[in-house]
Chain A
């Protein structure tokens, strides 16, 4: 297998230009939503709102201002599939459409997916959704086709500030740690990495440098794999089945015996 590849998104240098969104849409030929009708969300400059089957990159705008709007700051983050080492979507997919590639990325094969939508609810980050054009679940492929051709993904190529950095995950982690140290030396004590180590879902191959709690950026504070409930859920179901079975045996066994006694009484009479 080739070296694991991924993204390091440094949110401190994101300027909210959305070049990544546009580049992603262009390269992956993702159509506009609502037939191209221009709908404004009213939420800052964010009209994409969330990742889904038609938006594989999403620039989030967080405005942290006081009432007078004289003091405050912008937090900007280009969100994307995390390409988890322990990927919930890959765990539950019943068709084998979701695979791990030679680059350690997670890709949905559109010609295999039948649109059961199990992966949508299993993703801890709400990344996947149905592409209404293909009728299949879709998300960022980390530009698998470009990687195969020796190119870097379209979004990181287009990013004008190097907020999105692409490369081998081990290199990215070193670069990210150095950047956090640099920010902290400069007085930005809140800077930290989200998903850069193995503790979160075995590691996120697409991880982030953040300045506030994950929830502020729309990221879950404690994402988990869906399979955590497989054993306890199955065990409790089996216990329920045994309890119901015993109640059934008891109800009908009693009746069976009663009927036998009645038959015997009739014969004696």
Chain B
């Protein structure tokens, strides 16, 4: 590439976001996705599906806590994490509506509250907690439904804002497409469904797993379309992925994480029926992790020669 052909995004510096951020993007996606699925099952599922919804709440709350730990540890000054929420000079709330990281910090706090409520409600339903009023924080009651819908909105935000955060930089790949948030939302849904399928396998009596498999297959088909759209939207910048990262994206994410699980969900004949959903789910989780890894780490080394 001659100097005249360098796109402007190659003249920027890397923020050195590495494994902790990869971990956060993956676990945060699982937190948002699992909560969303739990809400979905609570609102639209059958009575027999409620144990599956409980699994979603059991995943979401610890995952959102782990997300917070990852984010704080990634700061150069971790003890100043609260500067994201309060102005350190005035103690007033610190919120910038046009900064995805600022919005995301608040959303993580609010979503953490909803995830905690769902977690307590699930424990109550499983008779692990005594307080009867906790039953009201989950549907089908009016309060529970309102909590679920509000929490579900924040769950989607947590699943997708990370992609918008990357787009609202000037880094190559990240800011060269507006579709990363879309792909992260869809991937959060597919990986969360996969995780719940895997966890539900250990408890065979749980209902709704087949519906979850149908959902995951449909989301994977959507993910394939979104992934192709993402690659197309990069235009000439796609050349930056003509390397080992691009190969990993194609093999690890598209083939292993989307196409093979999709085929396993749709054409199960060649594999033992009991093994099929578990293998599909495992591959979806691996693909979802590799996707975030490729997006974040590949951009770290991109830039013009000094």
Give residues in A with beta carbon < 8 Å to B: 43, 49-50, 52, 88, 91-97, 111-118, 120-130, 135-136, 213, 215-216, 218-224, 226-227, 229-230, 232-241, 243-245, 247-256, 258-260
Contact = CB atoms under 8 A, between A and B. Distances in A.
B208 A122 contact: no
Contacts of B303: 126
A179 to B, nearest CB: 25
A240 B179 CA distance: 9
State the 3 A-B residue pairs at the shortest beta-carbon distance, nearest first: A115-B76, A237-B181, A114-B80
B178 A120 contact: no
Tell which of B15, B174, B183, B210 has the most Cβ of chain A within 10 Å: B15
14 contacts: A95-B94, A114-B78, A116-B76, A120-B14, A120-B15, A136-B77, A220-B11, A229-B175, A230-B168, A236-B182, A240-B185, A244-B189, A248-B36, A251-B214
Contact of B170 (A124, A239, A259): A124
B205 interface: no
A223 B6 CA distance: 12
Contacts of A238: 160
B161 A237 contact: yes
Given A94-B105, A117-B17, A121-B169, A247 B219 contact: yes
A216 B49 CA distance: 63
B280 to A, nearest CB: 15
A234 B179 CA distance: 9
A96 B46 contact: no
Nearest to B229: A236
Contact of A249 (B44, B75, B156, B214): B44
B76 A135 contact: yes
Given A97-B83, A236-B179, A249-B44, A255 B211 contact: yes
Contact of B215 (A130, A229, A234, A248): A248
B89 A112 contact: yes
A96 B197 CA distance: 42
Contacts of A124: 8, 11-12, 170
B75 A115 contact: yes
B45 to A, nearest CB: 5
B28 to A, nearest CB: 14
Nearest to A60: B306
Contacts of A136: 76-77
Contacts of B13: 50, 52, 120-121, 123, 126-129
Q: How large is the interface on B (under 10, 10 to 19, 20 to 34, 35 or more residues)?
A: 35 or more
B84 interface: yes
Tell which of A50, A216, A229, A254 has the most Cβ of chain B within 10 Å: A229
Contact of B211 (A127, A222, A234, A252): A252
Contacts of A130: 16, 76
A149 B306 CA distance: 36
Given A94-B105, A256-B46, A125 B11 contact: yes
Contacts of A121: 12-15, 17, 169-171, 174
Interface string B153-196: 00010011101110111110011001111111110010000000
Given A96-B96, A114-B81, A240-B185, 19 more contacts: A94-B96, A114-B76, A116-B74, A121-B17, A124-B11, A126-B13, A126-B303, A218-B304, A220-B8, A223-B8, A224-B170, A233-B181, A234-B164, A240-B183, A241-B159, A244-B156, A244-B186, A245-B36, A251-B218
Contacts of B76: 114-117, 130, 135-136
Given A120-B14, A230-B98, A252-B41, A215 B6 contact: yes
B44 A256 contact: yes
Given A117-B16, A121-B13, A121-B174, A233 B163 contact: yes
A50 B164 contact: no
A232 B178 contact: yes
Nearest to A236: B182
Contacts of B44: 248-249, 252-253, 256
B160 A240 contact: yes
Nearest to B104: A94
A21 to B, nearest CB: 16
B3 interface: yes
B4 A215 contact: yes
A114 B45 CA distance: 44
B263 interface: no
Nearest to B17: A117
A229 B164 contact: yes
Contact of A135 (B77, B102, B164): B77
A169 B159 CA distance: 44
Contacts of B143: none
Given A128-B13, A229-B178, A244-B219, A92 B100 contact: yes
B222 interface: yes
Contacts of B74: 116
A121 B160 CA distance: 19
B180 A233 contact: yes
